[in-house]
């Protein structure tokens, strides 16, 4: 019975506004992943850091816009994303968080109100789920969504990010196998969306960017690359998390995989 | 004789690299404005602030990308723009600076080495000189460049910027009178260059954005708007300066009008 109710709620939220989803999460009515909810809206990656790390983190994002496309930055201590999600409360409006202390995952709560600090700054960054929606709407193939689970292949590449303060390390990239005859269109289409990772960072031989076995993914699921497919790679939102973890910040809070910040931005308006 | 030498140097620098121009300035060989130098390269606005204001300023730029398109941000205390001008020294590579203390212009030196502080952060922001070059290369009319002096009309508009910390106030905009039959092309062309102000913020009646007398400019020279012209407005790089002055920062240093930071970026690569 509860499952049926949840399925009904999912259907309604899939056609709802981003605010509808945020409220359903805040009120505890929705606790699952956000994939497919608030159709047409930009889903965002979340990173929350103490203010004394925020300037360096923002410089890192400015220098590495492909993996770290910043959509909004809160005022220090303010839990509301006033630009991309007016009325939001970033402490309660995501259905899952990861809390890292000194680079170690210490908790995965569904609410961070009790650990919120007045010196925290939250960053919303464009996410590739929105990106996949763009491809689908342009009748382009998104292979990983055709498989159960729908998980994309993600790797630590050999491309070094441009460092900023304590933030440095390799770029994490996602791989999409694209039919050869769609490569040009996919490159051109995605280049128009810099706010959700934009143009590919590499097209072709994975070894050229330090990926020697595409079946050995670092995150997600191994890809199926057909004989008529070309591997295409994009900067991935895992990058800032990986880099911030490596920097062993005293505190960092991110969204939990698949539990995104729902923004009022529309993909078609990007 | 000295004039002839300067004219000769201008000709050589106009076809030179941005680094050539920076070195000529650093060595005292070029002391003039930078308009027309290092053809094809992006000229940038400069703003230098103490680190304790830099996060708010960066948030301000993130929230107001049209007037404040950030191209590069230095590490704290580092005088080199490592992304857009490798090898640069921001303390010596511009031919004119404005030094503001508590919001008041106190000096206009040609070198700021002696007042440099280890807590300063420098911002390079896209500038509309590069923007005019784009229009000209696309055979679009740039009326103010046809007049002696070549100064554009600039106004404080009624559009409020999105505030960040102490940074708040109206958006400063530039006006270009565009022949009616070029309005669509100019809008579409400039929209492709978000790094140098991008799409217009307003097209048509100046009163709609609080400008009631276009002859009463706040900066630059009054425009000539012909009967077959449409006024088009863009966010202007004077905005962050005006806003930072109003915030009465203890210290802010900017480029002097017309004395821009020359970057290695090519306009065609933006």
**pLDDT tens, position by position, A204-215:** 999 999 999 999
CA–CA gap between residue B260 and residue B43 (Å, rounded): 6
pLDDT band at residue A38 under the 50/70/90 scheme: very high
Q: Fold for domain B2-126+242-269?
A: PSTPO5379-like (3.40.1640)
Nearest to B58 among A55, A83, A165 (CB): A55
On chain B, the residues whose CB falls within 8 A of the CB of A58 are 55, 58-59, 62, 73
Which of B83, B162, B165 is facing A63, going by the closest CB pair? B83
Task: List CB contacts (< 8 A) between B70 and chain A.
Answer: 62
pLDDT at A1: 56
Distance CA B98, CA B1 (A): 30
Q: What percent of chain B has pLDDT over 70?
A: 100
Distance from CA of A52 to the nearest CA of B (A): 9
pLDDT of amino acid B247 = 92
DSSP state of A256: P
Q: What is the ipTM of this complex?
A: 0.88
Strands (E), A115-152: 120-126
Name the burial class of residue B162, with classes exposed (0-12), middle (13-18) and buried (19+) by CB atoms within 10 angstroms of its CB: middle
Is residue B59 classed as helix, strand or coil in its secondary structure?
helix
pLDDT digits (tens, 9 = 90+) for A246-268: 999 999 999 998 899 999 999 88
pLDDT band at B1 (very low <50, low <70, confident <90, very high): low
Residues of B whose CB is below 8 A from A76: 55
Average pLDDT over residues B160-175: 95
> pLDDT digit string (tens) for A104-160?
999 999 999 999 999 999 999 998 777 777 788 777 777 777 777 778 899 999 999
Backbone torsions φ then ψ of A47, nearest 5 degrees: -140, 130
Quote the mean pLDDT of chain A.
92
The lowest-confidence range among A179-193, A245-259, B11-25, B139-153 is: B139-153
**Which chain A residue has its CA at the smallest distance from B121's CA?**
A55
Residue B25: per-residue pLDDT:
97
Please state, in angstroms and as integers, the Cα–Cα distance from residue B229 to each residue in B60, B155, B177, B180, B181, following that order.
33, 18, 6, 5, 9
Spelled out in words, what is the top-level CATH class assigned to the domain A129-240? alpha beta
Tokens of B184: 């669509």
pLDDT over threshold 60, residue B110? yes
Residues of chain B with CATH 3.30.2040.10: 129-238
- Stretch(es) of chain B classified as CATH 3.40.1640.10: 2-126+242-269
Q: What radius of gyration do chain A's Cα atoms show?
A: 18
pLDDT for res A183: 93
Measured between alpha carbons, how far is A144 from A132 in angstroms, rounded to an integer? Answer: 10
Nearest C-alpha in B relative to A70: B62
**What kind of architecture, by CATH, is found in domain B129-238?**
2-Layer Sandwich (3.30)
């Amino acid at each position: 019975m509860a499952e049926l109710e949840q399925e009904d709620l999912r259907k309604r939220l899939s056609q709802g506004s981003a605010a509808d989803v945020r409220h359903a999460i805040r009120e505890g009515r929705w606790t699952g992943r956000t994939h497919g909810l608030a159709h047409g809206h930009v889903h965002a990656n979340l990173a929350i850091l103490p203010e004394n790390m925020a300037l360096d983190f923002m410089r890192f994002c400015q220098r590495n816009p492909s993996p770290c496309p910043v959509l909004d930055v809160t005022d220090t201590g303010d839990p509301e994303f006033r630009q991309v999600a007016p009325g939001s409360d970033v402490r309660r409006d995501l259905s899952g968080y990861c809390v890292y202390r000194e680079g170690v995952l210490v908790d995965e709560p569904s609410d961070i109100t009790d650990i919120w600090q007045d010196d925290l700054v939250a960053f919303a960054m464009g996410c590739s789920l929105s990106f996949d929606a763009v491809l689908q709407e342009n009748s382009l193939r998104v292979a990983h969504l055709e498989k159960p689970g729908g998980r994309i292949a993600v790797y630590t590449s050999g491309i070094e990010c441009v460092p900023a303060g304590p933030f440095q390390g390799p770029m994490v990239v996602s791989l999409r196998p694209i039919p050869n005859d769609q490569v040009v269109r996919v490159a051109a289409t995605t280049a128009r969306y810099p706010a959700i990772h934009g143009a590919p960072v590499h097209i072709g031989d994975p070894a050229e960017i330090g990926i020697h076995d595409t079946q050995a993914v670092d995150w997600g699921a191994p890809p199926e690359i057909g004989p008529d497919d070309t591997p295409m790679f994009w900067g991935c939102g895992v990058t800032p998390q990986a880099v911030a973890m490596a920097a062993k910040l005293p505190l960092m809070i991110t969204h939990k995989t698949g539990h995104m910040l729902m923004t009022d931005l529309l993909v078609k308006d990007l």
